Amino acid sequence: MSEILETIKTLTEINSPSGDTDEAINYVKDYAQELGYQTTITNKGALIIQVDGQNNDLQRCITAHVDTLGAMVKEIKEDGRLAIELIGGFTYNAIEGEYCEITTESGQIYTGTICLHETSVHVYRNNYEIPRDKEHMEIRIDEVTTSDQETKQLGIEVGDFINFDPRTVITPSGFIKSRHLDDKASVAMILHLLQKLKANQIQLPHTTQFYISNNEEIGYGANASISPKIKEFIALDMGALGDGQTSDEYTVSICAKDASGPYNKHLKSHLVNLCKINDIPYKLDIYPYYTSDASAALKAGADIKHGLFGAGIESSHAMERTHIDSIKATEQLLYAYCLSPIE
C-alpha cells in the first residue's frame, strides 16, 4: 500500500480549494497522460480520463473530486490581519489554530495562522465563551504588518485563496490522518487503478470515463459533460462516520441514501453482491447530511443509475482519518465493479 499512500500524501499537499484547483487537476492529468490515457479538460475545469472498453455503447462514469475545503480573504482589517470567508460546508472551530497559506493573484504565497481574535487568555478573560465565527476568527499573517495598507502592499487582496496545512501523517499502525482525505484518497485510488489496468493490459468490459471534478464541495462538481452513453454513474467519495452510522475506518462504505434521497436500488445491490462474491468487507449506510457528485448529476438532468461508495473517513471536514484496510477494501470494490458487466 506504500505507493497509494504516498500518492494520497502528494495530493493532499497540493493546494486545491474549490475555485482554485488547476494545479491538482494538472497533476492528475499528467499522471494519466504518462500512462497513455486520453484526457479532456472541461470548460468548468474538471478532468475526464477516458478508458476504452469492449462495449462503447453502454458506458460508465466514475467520479472523484480533487477540490477541497478552503477559504478566501473577506476583509483586510485595520490592524493588518485578515477576515475570512469559508469555502465549503464546515465550521470555524474545525480550523482554529491551523497554519495556512494565502495565495495572491500574482502567485505569491504567504503563511499565517487561523486564530480567534481574542486568543490570549492573559488578556481576554473567559475567551472560551466567545463564539468561533466570522466576527471573531481571523488570520495572523507571518509578515511585519500592523495596518491594512501594509498588508495590501504585500499584494494581498480581498478574494485571495486561503489553504489549510493538511498535516498528513501515515502511522506505523496503518492509519493515514490528514485534511482533504475527502476526496483525495479516492482520486489516488483511481490513479492506482489506472496504473494497474495499464501494467496488466486489462481491458474493461465497458468504456469508462473517470471524472475528476473540481467543484464538489460547493455542490455542482460532476453535473455536466456527461455522455448520453453513460448508464451507470458512481461517486467514489468518503463514507461518513459517527454515532448511528454503521461505517468504519476498516471497510468500504456503500451509501444507500443521503440528504438527496435513495441511491439506485439495483446498482446498490450490485455493489453489495460484488463485495459478497469477492469477500470484500463492507458496510451499508445512510449519510444524513451529505450529497455527492452523483446526486448533483441527477439534479442536472442526467438519465443514469447512480451509486456511491468509498473509504470510511473519521471526523469529516476536520482533521480526517482512515485506515489502510478501508482503502484496500475500497480499491477491491472499485476494481471488481469496473470489471463487471452493466446489467
Q: Which of 40, 34, 320, 341 is nearest to 184 (CA)?
A: 320
Q: Could you read off the pLDDT of 299-331 as tens digits, one per residue?
A: 999 999 999 999 999 999 999 999 999 999 999
Asked which of 164, 192, 218 is the last residue of a domain, the reply is 164
Asked if the structure places residue 175 within a domain, the reply is: no
pLDDT of 338 reads 98
Q: Could you read off the pLDDT of 105-149 as tens digits, one per residue?
A: 999 999 999 999 999 999 998 899 999 999 999 999 999 999 999
* Distance of alpha carbon 291 from the chain centroid: 13
Q: Above 80 in pLDDT, residue 19?
A: yes
The CATH number of residue 242's host domain is 3.40.630.10
Calculate mean pLDDT across residues 142-171.
97
Q: Above 80 in pLDDT, residue 70?
A: yes
Where helices occur in 35-180 by DSSP H, the ranges are 148-153
330 vs 333: CA distance, rounded Å: 5
Clarify whether residues 229 and 107 are in a common domain: no
Clarify whether residues 145 and 15 are in a common domain: no
Residue reference for cell 446489467: 343
pLDDT of 1 reads 80
Pairing mode, strands 82-87 and 161-164: unpaired
Clarify whether residues 143 and 108 are in a common domain: yes
Helices (H) and strands (E) in the chain, counts: 7, 19
Asked which of 112, 135, 164 is the last residue of a domain, the reply is 164
The number of C-alpha atoms within 13 Å of 197 and in the hemisphere containing its C-beta is 25
Residue 262 DSSP one-character state: E
333 three-class SS: helix
Q: Could you read off the pLDDT of 166-214 as tens digits, one per residue?
A: 999 999 999 999 999 999 999 999 999 999 999 999 999 999 999 999 9
Asked if the structure places residue 145 within a domain, the reply is: yes
Clarify whether residues 11 and 82 are in a common domain: no
Does residue 101 carry a catalytic annotation? no
Clarify whether residues 288 and 308 are in a common domain: yes
Clarify whether residues 74 and 37 are in a common domain: no
Asked if the structure places residue 171 within a domain, the reply is: no
Clarify whether residues 54 and 85 are in a common domain: no
Clarify whether residues 228 and 305 are in a common domain: yes
Clarify whether residues 42 and 74 are in a common domain: no
Q: Above 80 in pLDDT, residue 343?
A: no
The x, y and z cell numbers of residue 306, run together, are 447512480
Q: By residue range, what is the domain housing residue 225?
A: 3-68+180-339
Clarify whether residues 248 and 238 are in a common domain: yes
Instruction: Give the chain's domain count.
Output: 2
Clarify whether residues 95 and 231 are in a common domain: no
Percent of the chain with pLDDT over 70: 100
Asked if the structure places residue 172 within a domain, the reply is: no
Across the strands, what pairs with 236?
A: 309
Taking CB atoms within 8 Å and a gap of at least 24, the contacts of 258-261 are 258/286, 258/287, 258/288, 258/290, 258/291, 258/292, 258/295, 258/308, 259/287, 259/288, 259/289, 259/290, 259/291, 260/291, 260/292, 260/295, 260/298, 260/299, 261/295
Q: Cβ-count burial of 45 within 10 angstroms (0-12 exposed, 13-18 middle, 19+ buried)?
A: middle
User: Which range, of 58-62, 89-93, 148-152, 203-207, averages the lowest pLDDT?
Assistant: 89-93
Asked which of 138, 164, 190 is the last residue of a domain, the reply is 164
- Beta carbons of 132 and 44 less than 8 angstroms apart: no
Asked if the structure places residue 230 within a domain, the reply is: yes
45 vs 130: CA distance, rounded Å: 40
Q: Which H/E stretch holds residue 64?
A: strand 53-65
Asked if the structure places residue 173 within a domain, the reply is: no
Q: Is the dihedral of CA 232, 238, 240, 245 positive or negative?
A: positive
40: confidence class by pLDDT, cuts 50, 70, 90 = very high
291 vs 218: CA distance, rounded Å: 10
Asked if the structure places residue 170 within a domain, the reply is: no
- Beta carbons of 49 and 210 less than 8 angstroms apart: yes
Calculate mean pLDDT across residues 231-259.
97
Clarify whether residues 160 and 226 are in a common domain: no
Q: Which H/E stretch holds residue 336?
A: helix 324-338
From the annotation, which residues make up the binding site for Zn(2+)?
65, 182, 217, 237, 317
The CATH number of residue 160's host domain is 2.40.30.40
Burial 74-107, CB ≥16 within 10 A → b, else e: bebeeebbbbbebbbebebebbeebebbbbbeee
Angle, helix 2-12 to helix 181-199, in steps of 10 degrees: 130
From the annotation, which residues make up the binding site?
65, 182, 217, 237, 317
pLDDT of 100 reads 98
Asked if the structure places residue 38 within a domain, the reply is: yes
Q: Give the active site residue among 129, 157, 216, 320.
A: 216
Q: Where are the beta strands (DSSP E) in 247-324?
A: 252-258, 261-262, 282-286, 305-313, 320-323
